Amino acid sequence: MTAPRTGLAGLLAQRCATDWSTHFAAQDQDRMRGVVRAAFVDTTACMLAGRDEPVTTQVAQWAGLRSDGDAMPLPARADESALAPALAALVNATAGHALDYDDVGLAGHPSVVLVPALLAVHEADGVRGFALVQAYAKGYAVWAELQSRMTVHLHGRGWHPTAVFGTVAAAAAVASARGLPASQVAHAIGIAASSASGLIANFGSMTKALQVGRAARAGLEAAELAACGVDASFDALDGPTGLLAALAGPGNARLEADVEEGFESTLLRIRPGIKKYPVCYAAHRVADGVLDLKAEHKLMPSDVTAVDATISATTAGVLRHHAPATLSEARFSLEYVVATALVHGALGLREVDERSLADPAVRALMPLIRTHITDTRCPLEPSFAYEDRVTITTRDGTIRDSGPIRFARGHAQLPLDEAQLRDKLWACVRADEEALAMAALDRIDAALAA
């Protein structure tokens, strides 16, 4: 007799509702904890860096969190602050993505959705230790499963994967953290599928960060609603009118209801990368190449007559602002990123600011940057070319060539170490706030401790 069909949501829910502490040996649990800790530290750094951004303060005020001074009291808390967990997740995820400095993976930004949602659950319900670690890993695995089923780039179809798949991933993570049974985890996933949305058209505006904040909030609310008894269709993900087909278009997504055996180890196989620069990740490979060439050859901005960058069509489409008028647009402008790197020799928070956008030296270089498209594809980062490349032509006719650039620094294949991660955290707080950064580290270590 054929078993009743449960749909993809049901199969994912069964895997997420299982306790993974018996699935992994102690050594692998420690490895997973290390990856999750880095994700929590990096996301908290980005939340602190983005707390004073206009989109953060406006969303925080809308949520009921008022400023007591020059800085918003963030990260927002879901306990004594009286913010509901879903609103704390909204504010913190918005702050974490406001500068586009948060980590990358799975064709999106996984931690900026998962970490704020799980921090809210930790604060409200006391979920901690490996329960918190595996909840992140489960949400991440759900995201990876959905992403792997796409045979087209969501970016190319106008969808923002972080806001779309992040909503479903956050629902699975929160439902798992709260120990919901498989049936309710499946409903949480289905509810989240109806809330999943986010557009590439809003890149370069406040709404890019807002749609990430809404993903964290909607995912958490989906888990709460499922716990209250709200149900969803069993084929909300993989049905002919479900999320995957709706996003990808007819015939562009694998809809079979199956989940491979490697699901539980997804995070150990495909870990997120930490961003070195507070600009769109699509520009990071080229930025590395430009900074290396500038340092190696001691190039001055006045030396440069042309910069030629070879990238994929998808990343070129994401870097859509060729003459940015605002700093938000500039983060999605290859011309601005390259020109700023050439002028300053660095791309940190101090260099990527309103002053550099208005700098005549930066503006003079921007028209010299040219983009070329290659049709190769990276199997680990499908929206990227297999390799990027950049050349810089100088006034004497010399062409400086970066050679092939396979991964950006900070990628899982070129990870930042603990010292570099801490350096990023310190750079994300003001000079007099080192105690705040240390308190954030202590809070994270206590939450994830075995």
Say how far apart CA 363 and CA 340 lie, in whole Å. Answer: 9
* Mean pLDDT computed over 21-34: 93
Angle CA 144–279–332, to nearest 5? 90
For residue 250, what pLDDT is reported? 87
For residue 394, what pLDDT is reported? 97
For residue 80, what pLDDT is reported? 57
Say how far apart CA 187 and CA 174 lie, in whole Å. Answer: 13
* Mean pLDDT computed over 158-179: 97
pLDDT tens digit sequence for 69-126: 444 556 778 765 568 999 999 999 999 999 999 999 998 999 999 999 999 999 999 9
Q: 220: part of which helix (H) or strand (E)?
A: helix 206-227
Could you tell me the residue ranges of all domains in the chain? 7-269, 281-401
For residue 73, what pLDDT is reported? 54
pLDDT tens digit sequence for 34-61: 999 999 999 999 999 999 999 999 999 9
Q: 371: part of which helix (H) or strand (E)?
A: strand 369-373
Say how far apart CA 301 and CA 294 lie, in whole Å. Answer: 9
Residue 434 has pLDDT above 90, yes or no: no
pLDDT tens digit sequence for 335-365: 999 999 999 999 999 999 999 999 999 999 9
pTM above 0.75, yes or no: yes
* Mean pLDDT computed over 298-322: 95
**pLDDT-derived band at 381, boundaries 50, 70, 90:** confident
Residue 274 has pLDDT above 60, yes or no: yes
For residue 358, how many other CB atoms are within 10 A of its CB?
10
For residue 13, how many other CB atoms are within 10 A of its CB?
29
Residue 2 has pLDDT above 60, yes or no: no
User: Alpha carbon of 97 to those of 17, 63, 258: distances in Å?
Assistant: 29, 17, 33
**pLDDT-derived band at 382, boundaries 50, 70, 90:** confident
Query: In the chain, what are the helix, strand and coil shares in percent, each to the nearest 5?
Result: 55, 5, 35
User: Alpha carbon of 240 to those of 146, 245, 258, 259, 346: distances in Å?
Assistant: 15, 6, 16, 18, 48
pLDDT tens digit sequence for 191-240: 999 999 999 999 989 999 999 999 999 999 999 999 999 999 999 999 99
Say how far apart CA 24 and CA 386 lie, in whole Å. Answer: 33
- Name residues whose C-beta falls within 8 Å of residue 81's C-beta, 6 or more positions apart in sequence: 65, 73, 88
- Name residues whose C-beta falls within 8 Å of residue 182's C-beta, 6 or more positions apart in sequence: 10, 13, 14, 16, 17
State whether CATH 3.30.1330.120 applies to domain 281-401.
yes
For residue 433, what pLDDT is reported? 84
CATH of domain 7-269: 1.10.4100.10
443-446, long-range: CB within 8 Å, 24+ apart, which pairs?
A: 444/37, 444/40, 444/41, 444/44, 445/37, 446/128
Contact indicator for 12, 142 with CB cutoff of 8 Å: yes
How would you classify the pairing of strands 369-373 and 304-311?
parallel
For residue 82, what pLDDT is reported? 64
> Two tokens at 217?
């909030």
Q: 401: part of which helix (H) or strand (E)?
A: strand 399-401
* Mean pLDDT computed over 307-332: 94
**pLDDT-derived band at 3, boundaries 50, 70, 90:** very low
> Two tokens at 244?
């995957």
Over the chain, what is the mean pLDDT? 92
* Mean pLDDT computed over 429-441: 86
Residue 450 has pLDDT above 90, yes or no: no
**pLDDT-derived band at 370, boundaries 50, 70, 90:** very high
Say how far apart CA 44 and CA 124 lie, in whole Å. Answer: 18
> Two tokens at 281?
């990740």
